[in-house]
Structure 1
Amino acid sequence: MPRIVITDVRAICTAPDGIRLVVVKVETSEPGLYGLGCATFTQRPLAVVAAIEQYLKPFVVGRDPNDIEDIWQAAYVSSYWRNGPVLHNALSGIDMALWDIKGKLANMPLYQLFGGKCRQAAALYAHASGRDFQEVEEDARRYMEMGYRYVRCQVAVPGQSTYGARGDDTGREIWEPSVYCRLVPRLFDYLRSRLGEEVELLHDVHERVPPIQAVQLAKDLEPYRLFFLEDPFAPEDIEYFRILRQQAATPIAMGELFVNPSEYVPLIRDRLIDFIRVHISAIGGLSMARKLAAFCEFFGVRTAWHGPGDVSPVGHAANLHLDLACYNFGIQEQHVFGERTREVFPGCPEIRDGMLWPNDKPGLGVDIDEKLAARYPFPEHPLNGGWAPVRRLDGTVIRP
């Protein structure tokens, strides 16, 4: 059999639902054999495209696509400086595509190459929100009736730009943490008394409060038995996890903004978090995520990969294949793709009864219609996808 080599690498930019997605296509010398990977860093997509096409493409063209680990390690150190989101997303696009090719060569869905299924499908958590407690309850009940057993609940803070809660119509990018920290425990007291004990409730702080207030919030939420409290601290404040662990037993999910192993390895090693929440493409792709999941298993940390709309259907499929194969799977974030996105990406994983199901095609199981993708260019935006600042009343920029 003739030796197969990588012949081309292309970054495909598309936004069928208005969210900037970057997908990498790695083509080979074998007719019809190619792989797809997710490189979506929606706040800096064009920087990722440049890294893929101007730096990593010439680095990998001519290589054997079977040599996934060697290609990853060599590309990782090729820039000397490493562990940044642009490099990692670019590297992820190629890495996932190589795993997709590997599955197609084996004629197996990727989870089989990871050791086979531990479960039939991945449980999802939905996003319920509202302008007040009653609206959040109604939204949560709607998801529960659809078969969801896990629901993240967020409520608007009147007059403020509240993360994750619909109903903010103030038009002001203003945020003050104290009202929020007093409001959230009351929300979960209300929800737990009305929704009962059968549903698992989650909440995302999104790093928006001073660390000591996040510690108090975790303590105040203990009576309501959350499935997890997400991102109580910014990555710059991770030493506070030691204090939090001594103060509260609320399960903690962390990692959405992590890119560097030195950020997450100590938290896992010292058992300071309960769920790892990384954006797989931001840590370098499937090769790194597989190692991270295995490391987490030895310390009782479960997976909860980042899975919003700014992860492409290719990235969601990668999440799912790990979810199916990893013993220490915890939960998967839900995103319902619009009809246009599903047309652009045939084979997108299916949601049924509050769970994400694979299609069992070889590799990642997702394809792309490039002609259709080209009909949905990135939308006009003054910051080209970047986040506008949210400020305190005195004008101070807050995280994130």
Structure 2
Amino acid sequence: MRITEARVVVTCPGRNFVTLKIVTEDGVTGVGDATLNGRELAVAAYLDDHVVPLLAGRDASRIEDTWQYLYRGAYWRRGPVTMTAIAAVDTALWDIKGKVAGLPVYQLLGGRSREGVTVYGHANAEDVDGVLDEVAHYSGLGYRAVRVQTGVPGLASTYGVGGDRMFYEPADAAVPTENVWSTSRYLQHVPTVFRRVREEFGPRLRLLHDAHHRLTPIEAARLGSSLEPYDLTWIEDPVPAELQSGYRLIRQHTTTPVAVGEVFNSVWDCKQLIEEQLVDYIRATVVHAGGITHLRRIFDHAALHDVRSGSHGATDLSPVCMAAALQLDISIPNFGLQEYMRHTPETDAVFPHTYRYEGGYLHPSQEPGLGVDIDEERAAAFPYRPAQLPVNRLEDGTVHHW
């Protein structure tokens, strides 16, 4: 079953996506997500110039061998561009293998470990009253877990709070917009938000919050400690991921669980955090961590240390990535949560899929393969549009983590 063609499709049905489609000599096709938010064309070029020319004639059934060939054979290993490109190939090959076997991919990964994939939605608003309305909205849709983000008094804008609450997309301009940040204002405000949410919705709803890499370890420890009365499921990305030793200090000062990893590209990025049990959830994704093959390795390693999955699932991960993530989520023993930001109707039309949401759970497709495709004719109607993520500055003008 030789590969005869691989083509890269770039489309922008509301935001930019990069997709790899692989075709075999038998006419079987597979798709893989290759989207890297704000750097989409870098991955498209890597695929077109360095990966696609290597695929013609390869045996599509040799997924592991192809993964090693693209990883070890490139010499320049890891990094978001390389690993996103490898992920696209790997995911597409798993899609093909499932179709040839006549089974959804999760059956090839060992079958179900649960009946459904628990997901969390994003409740965000400029003020506390607004966010209470949003939490009520998601609760009404059946969500069992909700991430809570609000504007911070005195700041013009805040990460996680957008104009469209259902389809929040931070990459909003060809030249990055600039935000202003104050850690002290933030630390004073966040506990008051969660106090109100708990008073309104009680103890059963699982609550999460994203600090988005903006704190120092001691600031993160203070935040975790102040949120302990409100029983959060996790604080996400409290400090920059490069500062892994800082998680030891956080652990010393708070029992609030910690989630990290949406910017991780390999098991080496999270090895220390897992082995020292410095985090509770790993948020790496199929598209940015080398595909189903390598993300399964990360989750297997995490399982040995009682660390659970909590994969990233923002709108810059296409339905192709979500379909693949669900196949993995349903099968692994140490699943925790899956982020679920709904895509726009235009995106869903470009990427027809058969995974579904019901009562707080996503259910993976039962079709052979991943159960997702790209409508290339529709995709062509949405040309690429330059869009970058914002840049963050402190109140005195210093560039800070966004």
Shared fold (TM-score, shorter chain, > 0.5): yes
Q: Is 1:38 the equivalent of 2:38?
A: no
Aligned-partner Cα distance in 2 for 1:172–1:341: 27
SS at match of 1:203: strand
1:211 Cα deviation (Å)? 2.7
Contact 1:24-1:94 at 8 Å conserved across structures: yes
- Corresponding residue for 1:204? 210
Worse overlay, 255-264 or 106-115: 255-264
- Corresponding residue for 2:394? 392
Listed as ranges, the matches of 1:181-192 within 5 Å are: 181-192=187-198
1:209 Cα deviation (Å)? 2.3
Listed as ranges, the matches of 1:210-229 within 5 Å are: 210-229=216-235
* 1:119 counterpart letter in structure 2: R
Contact 1:314-1:348 at 8 Å conserved across structures: no
Closer/same/farther in 2, CA of residues 166 and 338 from structure 1, 3 Å limit: closer
Listed as ranges, the matches of 1:69-88 within 5 Å are: 69-88=64-83
1:262 Cα deviation (Å)? 2.5
Contact 2:217-2:249 at 8 Å conserved across structures: no
- Corresponding residue for 2:199? 193
Post-superposition Cα deviations, 1:48-87, rounded to whole Å, max 9, x if no partner, equal 1111111111222111001100110011022211111111
Any gaps of 5 or more consecutive residues in structure 1? Answer: none
Contact 2:152-2:186 at 8 Å conserved across structures: yes
Listed as ranges, the matches of 1:261-276 within 5 Å are: 261-276=267-282
- Corresponding residue for 1:23? 19
- Corresponding residue for 2:49? 54
* 2:111 counterpart letter in structure 1: G
Aligned-partner Cα distance in 2 for 1:14–1:120: 34
1:289 Cα deviation (Å)? 0.7
1:172 Cα deviation (Å)? 6.3
- Corresponding residue for 1:231? 237
Contact 1:150-1:202 at 8 Å conserved across structures: yes
Contact 1:156-1:167 at 8 Å conserved across structures: no
Post-superposition Cα deviations, 1:113-171, rounded to whole Å, max 9, x if no partner, equal 01101122211101001122111111101111111110100110133321102479xx9
Post-superposition Cα deviations, 1:181-210, rounded to whole Å, max 9, x if no partner, equal 111111111111221011011000001223
Contact 1:313-1:348 at 8 Å conserved across structures: no
* 2:39 counterpart letter in structure 1: R
Contact 2:8-2:21 at 8 Å conserved across structures: yes
2:3 to 2, 6, 24: 6
1:348 Cα deviation (Å)? 4.5
Aligned-partner Cα distance in 2 for 1:97–1:181: 43
- Corresponding residue for 2:350? 344
Aligned-partner Cα distance in 2 for 1:311–1:22: 10
Listed as ranges, the matches of 1:93-112 within 5 Å are: 93-112=88-107
2:184 to 163, 178, 183: 178
Identity of aligned residues (%): 41
Q: Is 1:253 the equivalent of 2:250?
A: no
- Corresponding residue for 1:296? 302
* 2:396 counterpart letter in structure 1: D
* 1:29 counterpart letter in structure 2: E
2:85 to 87, 90, 102: 90
Contact 1:38-1:281 at 8 Å conserved across structures: yes
SS at match of 1:180: helix
Any gaps of 5 or more consecutive residues in structure 2? Answer: 165-176
Aligned-partner Cα distance in 1 for 2:252–2:326: 34
Number of matched pairs = 389
Contact 1:151-1:199 at 8 Å conserved across structures: yes
Aligned-partner Cα distance in 1 for 2:17–2:178: 27
Contact 2:211-2:238 at 8 Å conserved across structures: yes
* 2:51 counterpart letter in structure 1: L
Contact 2:33-2:320 at 8 Å conserved across structures: yes
4+ residue segments displaced more than 3 Å: none
